[in-house]
Amino acid sequence: MTRLRRVLKIIRVVYRYRLDQLIDKSKAPTAVRLLLSPAVLWGRPSASRGERLRRALEKLGPIFVKFGQLLSTRPDLVPADICAELAQLQDNVAPFKSARFRQIVEQALNGSVDDIFQSFEAEPLASASVAQVHAAVLKDGSDVVVKAVRPNIEKVIGNDIALMYMLARLLAKYSQDGRRLRPVEVVADYEQVIYNELNLQAEGANASLLRHNFEGSPLLYIPRINWDYSNEKVLVMERIYGTPVTNIADLEAAGVNFKVLAERGVEIFFTQVFEHNFFHADMHPGNIFVDSSNPQKPSYIGIDCAIMGSLSKDDQYYMARNLIAIFKRDYRQVAELHIRSGWVPENTPVNEFTGAIRTVCEPIFQRPLNEISLGHMLISLFTTARRFNMEVQPSLVLLQKTLLNIEGLGRQLYPQLDLWTTAQPFLDKWLKERYSPKSVFKQFKRLVPDWLEQLPEIPPLIYSALKNAQNPPAAAVTPVAPEQNNHSGKRLRWLGAAAVGSGVGLAYASWAQPLITLAQMPTTSLVLIGAGLLMLLLR
């Protein structure tokens, strides 16, 4: 009955905001056309489709609002006019009762709030669709915030996700943009994101690692997690005191250097992506505060680490190379990198792909560098690549979303921000260090334990292979002349030298440019080197 009432509410909202106009009713079955036909009673809409969708999601409640926020970060799939409207959605939800919050905390921590905390504020600091936050003080006097998941939220999410899938399938089948928007895929992405947010222990673990990565850094501070009082349902963390990054007036009053603040935001992003390979993927302004105690060198404070991203070693390498090639306007290299990375099929016509990339990127470079959006350029590039059968890469989607947030924030703080001036030295340095002897030695140390573990298996394999090569089956044995035997010895020497060289070359390739899985490469290299040496010794 609850789901039926929810369906009826969704239908009323569809009528009221004329969302029926988002699908092609001429291609819909009779039952769908009949269901949507009463919408005409609400007349012709005066608002844009983006505004109508935004208001409809707000009417449907917090789970749909959060879904709209996700859609606003996917300009690669959602039209620009709709993205702009959905970006205005705010995740502010009426709080649930303080007594219920205390009950959830006490059940999760197996103790009384009065016994655990010195004081506990009844009024929430913040209330969102998935969780609520209250301020408290521990017995040792530490200021903390306590975050708890909303009661019965799993059931609400389950019902709304099921309805979203139903609507997504209708949109995919009957909307003119259905195939391009891939709504079912978007709902599946959202389902994973929102269920991950229900596990506060995972969020705490993310925050702890991010804090460790920036330990002692002047760029970013992450609140400390108090693990003695944290689990899947409750998270207790250090309370931070900073200025919301959107509060420009207070930052100006504090004398903050906005140029430095904007550039540090970009530096934080590239440090997370390329040095740490672990980046905060939900860096919208509500999760960012500023420590302005040193206004000429302000730093950031980050919260809410529920959504994090990372790239594979290959994607990390190819993304850096792509960014450098794009700004050098070397479009053929961009096309070749896409093919070598496996982002597009290897049979993609390079010349045709190069021309398509040039068509997208070249008009952008006619604008001043401080007006170029690297995030939107990547989106345009990947949208073009999808015409050449590039599959959606979840990690790259998170990267695009985060870059867009960082760019938007940076330009809001300092409109003249030249993202590339900050990014290029970082990428050049990262690529140089990747091939440095120190980096190669570091990779070598990391792989040696695996090599030693595999080493005992290699001599029997080499001996067996050489025995079979030198002693073929009796039926195949034929008399060999002395000069032929000498020729075979020379050939074996050449083969041995070639095997050693190939093994060393493949080993270096595995460290410097991992086009082949590292777990496989060391064994292959050792077999080649070992076999080559034995060939040289046994010739």
Q: Write out the catalytic residue numbers.
A: 282
The answer to whether 355 and 329 have CB atoms below 8 angstroms apart is no
Beta bridge partners of 132: 127, 148
- DSSP states of 121-160 as a string? -SS-SEE-SSEEEEEEEETTS-EEEEEEEPTTHHHHHHHH
How far is Cα of residue 26 from the mean position of the Cα atoms in its chain? 38
Q: Shortest CA distance to 125 belongs to which of 103, 106, 104, 147?
A: 147
Report, in angstroms and rounded to the nearest whole number, the Rg of the chain calculated over CA atoms.
29
Q: Which two tokens stand for residue 350?
A: 């390079």
- Block residue for tokens 């540090």: 264
Compute φ and ψ for 234, nearest 5 degrees.
-135, 140
199 vs 234: CA distance, rounded Å: 9
Tell me the torsion sign for CA atoms 115, 116, 118, 122.
negative
Tell me the torsion sign for CA atoms 171, 174, 175, 181.
positive
188 vs 299: CA distance, rounded Å: 36
The answer to whether 358 and 331 have CB atoms below 8 angstroms apart is yes
390 vs 439: CA distance, rounded Å: 31
Compute φ and ψ for 130, nearest 5 degrees.
-105, -35
Q: Output the CA–CA distances (angstroms, integers) from residue 108 to 134, 137, 142, 228, in the order listed.
A: 15, 18, 20, 12
Task: Tell me 369's DSSP state.
Answer: G
